[in-house]
Amino acid sequence: MRFGSIPVRWAIIGLLFVCVLGRVAWAGSYEALGDEIRALAAAPNLAKVKVGIRVVALGIEQPQLVYAQNADELFKPASNQKVLTTAAALTMLPPDFQYRTLLGMLGRDLVIIGAGDPSIGDPKLAKAQRQSVTGVFERWADRMKAEGIHAVPGDLIFDDSVFDTEFVPASWRQQHNLEDWFAAPVGGLNFNDNCVDVILTPGQKGKPAIVELVPNWVKVDNKSVTAGTGQPVIRRASVNPLMISVSKTVSRPTGDGNPTSIPVGDPGEFFAQTVRSVLTAKGIRMDGKVRRQRVRQADGSLPSEFKIVAAYESKPIDFLWRMNKSSLNVFAEAMLKSLGAYSGGAKATGTRAAGAAVMRAFLAKLDVKADGFVIDDGSGLSHNNRISPASLCETLVYMDRQLPIRKQWWASLATPGDSDGTLRSRMPALKGTVYAKTGYIAGVSALSGYVVAADRKRYFAFSILCNDTNKSKGGSSAARKLEEEVCKKLAAFR
């Protein structure tokens, strides 16, 4: 048989020859690209910085290694830890998983039963839904009235036993100031990212500033003074009762989009007290006190006499972006405990240890060795976490193959110019080209994700972890520059 005037066997040999040449050409191109990345990582101001890099080409061919540097060594990942947490959540939780927070009556008492949902009252999500942060509770009040419940003669009981009461990891207590918003606690009931938002407006010169708190039932000790210059000191004065202290001088206002957020001490108590204040404001009389009590039984069932009045349901996939794009630690910590509470069968427990065990099982699926990582929290705020660039990159490759959730996974990552993301002010020329998770704690800078190449067909999974950035002058800025320059090289590849 002939193909035109050429025998078929010669046509086939020629086609194979072209394919081989093509693969050799691409291998050569990747080698040159790797050399360029190596040169970037050899910058003099990175000499004392421990740098780990892995880049893998994806797209029109099988995954192919482009470059690796210290890729199998363990690094502190900072918030790149959230890549592991969210990937494990999407693959290890049931496909139809959703949180279900319940409000109901048990005799004379009103009962709230938590599911660990971190999204209730989150300001960004509430704004997207065009409601106030207390919108869920306001609907609950309306539902109670529709059911003919205008007064609660008993107590307001809250059951947050789905998670344990270790609201913050032990390591955070030694490593961080627990009054910083990014170190907010996590419980079985969570509201407004478990923070009190403080909004300040200067008053008359020499007089106290106007202080607004969200939620507004929280007490305030206002010792501030309005002045032309100076900064206020805002702190948590006490936990029980919850009180915020404002002192020193207030020289400029803080609007709704930029309040000072102060973490609470007890998330469940904070949630329940806010519910009580909203119900009261809506005209429902609350006669009893607020108290914690386990109502859900050990097997997960509810007492037969418990009557559900309202429920709030949400799916993690709908707010995945608050973990990766916005890098909210409180969401990631809730997700870690959710892995323990909802992935472990009958013996499931909502603890960090149980969640870490599920994450280890997830990483085992990717053939990551047990001694190849350390999981101390879900967010990466702890300095005790460890992972390799190779393992992070393999996670990204794996998640890119999960076709049912691939679109949502990519969309959860930050991209330059997105006002809700941590890359909003970085690499503006690469908008729509870089999709990545940032990471920063003292001495650590990290960036892991995907870069779409110039031909828009090929793309790269990458992980860049930089540790010991505090050991050289300008180390942190040099690490950020390395991350951005590598992304530019990948984006320009043809």
Q: How many residues does the chain have?
A: 494
> So what's the pLDDT on residue 28?
58
> So what's the pLDDT on residue 258?
82
Give the start-to-end residue ranges of the domains of the chain.
Answer: 29-93+320-491, 99-314
> Could you give phi then psi for residue 427, rounded to 5 degrees?
50, 55
> So what's the pLDDT on residue 294?
96
- Homologous superfamily (CATH) of 99-314 is D-Ala-D-Ala carboxypeptidase C, peptidase S13 (3.50.80.20)
Low-confidence residues in the chain, pLDDT < 50: 1-26
CA nearest neighbour of 26 among 393, 481, 457: 457
Instruction: Supply the CATH classification number for the domain 29-93+320-491.
Output: 3.40.710.10
Which tens digits make up the pLDDT trace of 371-384?
A: 889 999 999 999 99
Domains 29-93+320-491 and 99-314 share a fold: no
Which tens digits make up the pLDDT trace of 157-171?
A: 999 999 999 999 999
Note if the bond before 404 is cis, omega within 30 degrees.
no
Place of tokens 């407004």: 192
- Residue by residue, DSSP assigns 362-386 as HHHHTT--GGG-B-S-SSS-STT-B
**What CA dihedral angle connects 103, 105, 106 and 109, to 10 degrees?**
100
d(CA 227, CA 210): 13
Q: Which residues contact 488 (CB under 8 A, 6 or more apart)?
A: 427, 429, 430
> Could you give phi then psi for residue 129, rounded to 5 degrees?
-90, 5
Which tens digits make up the pLDDT trace of 27-72?
A: 558 999 999 999 999 999 999 999 999 999 999 778 999 999 999 9
**CA angle (429 as vertex; 426, 433 as ends), nearest 5:** 90
> So what's the pLDDT on residue 113?
98
> So what's the pLDDT on residue 300?
84
Q: Reduced to 3 states, what is the DSSP secondary structure of residue 391?
A: helix
